[in-house]
Amino acid sequence: MEFYVRIKSEATPADIQQTISIESLPDFCAFVSSISPAEGGNLEMFSDWGTHTVSRELIREGLRFTLPGCPNALAWTITSMGQGEIVLHCVINRDTHEPDFIETLEQFTNDWASGIQQKLGSV
């Protein structure tokens, strides 16, 4: 399943990469309650889905975050499309899922869109 949100912003890929870190996830997404250190130098994300190790990767035009141990292989990208737009793309490795879980994915992407708009919308 895939979820897309387009956000008006003049933020550049460098702005995205420099501003959004694993540690700042709760600042950008209210769905993420906190981040804490984990074994092996990793960081864990706490949310309504439980605790998951989170990875961050620089990609062309932005960032990719993944939850490597997540049963749904959740990943999301935040990229600058230029021309005043950021695209948030969230994906899981299933083409269908329980309605309650789909609602939480929609909440997750909407929370991200709000956070990006608040913090990078005027960049």
User: What is the rounded average pLDDT of the residues 30-36?
Assistant: 96
Domain CATH for 89: 3.30.530.20
- Among candidate residues 58, 52, 60, 72, the one with its CA nearest the CA of residue 2: 72
Neighbours of 92 (CB within 10 A): 20
Strand ranges across the sheet with 32-37: 2-8, 85-91, 75-82, 62-66, 50-59, 43-47, 32-37
% of the chain with per-residue pLDDT over 70: 98
**pLDDT at site 39:** 81
Average pLDDT, the chain: 94
pTM, full prediction:
0.93
Q: What is the mean pLDDT of residues 87-114?
A: 94
Q: Could you list the residue range(s) of the whole structural domain that residue 28 is in?
A: 2-120
pLDDT confidence of residue 38 = 85
Q: State residue 72's pLDDT score.
A: 94
Is the backbone of residue 3 left (phi > 0), alpha (psi -120 to 50) or beta?
beta
Q: pLDDT tens, 35-67? A: 999 887 889 999 999 999 999 999 999 999 999
How far, in Å, CA of 51 to CA of 44, rounded? 6
Query: Which pLDDT score, from 0 to 100, does residue 123 have?
Result: 55
Count of domains in the chain?
A: 1
Beta-strand ranges (E) seen in the chain are: 2-8, 32-37, 43-47, 50-59, 62-66, 75-82, 85-91
Write down the pLDDT at residue 7. Answer: 95
